[in-house]
Amino acid sequence: MHPIRKKRLTIVLFLVAGIAIAVGLTTYALRQNINLFYDPTQISAGEAPVDVRIRAGGMVEEGSVIRDPNSLKVEFRVTDFNASVPVEYVGILPDLFAEGQGVVAMGQLNGQGRFVADQVLAKHDENYMPPEVADALAKSAKNGQQPSKAGDAPAY
């Protein structure tokens, strides 16, 4: 390679490496701001601020959804299988909201450790399957076998 080109190539590589380091350090320093939501472990550890509008995300705990028959009020618990946080919400839930599904709620944490949400969004996971497969998996899970498809990681 021609020496001038070699020099230019070195400059270009230094440019890209320098910017990558700068951006990397900036995003690392701002990581809590870039995170969309606090997970239940962070909230129960007291990392989330109280009475400030924040988002909380996790999975809706199985069997925890209580709907008020006279209004749109819903109560449920959001879990990451480590800790869980009670959430209350008044309003219409997205179609995908269900027990065992991921949600991201926006609202405030009150003094009693309850999360009062004014918006609930459903979080979809990366797994797709036809309805027949899902039925078959649910059936085999009922028969006491472990579903092989869903994986071991919490899918929220």
Partner 1 sequence: MWQIFHKLGSPKWFFGIATRLMPWLLAGGVLLMMAGIVWGLGFAPKDYLQGNSYRIIFIHVPTAFLAQSVYIMMAVAAVVTLVWRMKLADVFVKAVAPVGLVLTFLALFTGAVWGKPTWGTWWIWDARLTSMLILLFLYGGVIALDRAINDEKSAARAVAVLVLVGVVNIPIIKYSVEWWNTLHQPATFKLTEKPTMPAEMWVPLLLSVLGLYLVFGWLACLRMQTEILVREQRTRWVREHVMAGRT
Which residues are annotated binding-site positions for heme?
124, 128
What does the alpha-carbon distance between residue 50 and residue 68 come to, in Å, rounded to a whole number?
26
Footprint of partner 1 on 54-73 (CB under 8 A): 57
Supply φ then ψ for residue 136, to 5 degrees.
-60, -40
Q: How far apart are CA 15 and CA 67, in angstroms?
A: 57
- How far is C-alpha 99 from the geometric centre of its chain's CA atoms? 15
25 vs 66 by CB, closer to partner 1: 25
CB of 47 to partner 1, least distance (A): 13
Rule CB under 8 A: is residue 39 a binding residue for partner 1? yes
Residue 131 engages partner 1 in binding (rule: CB under 8 A): yes
53, 67, 124, 139: which one contacts partner 1 (CB under 8 A)?
124
Q: Which of 126, 107, 118, 97 is nearest to 56 (CA)?
A: 107
Task: Work out which of 128, 144, 146, 152 binds partner 1, going by CB under 8 A.
Answer: 128
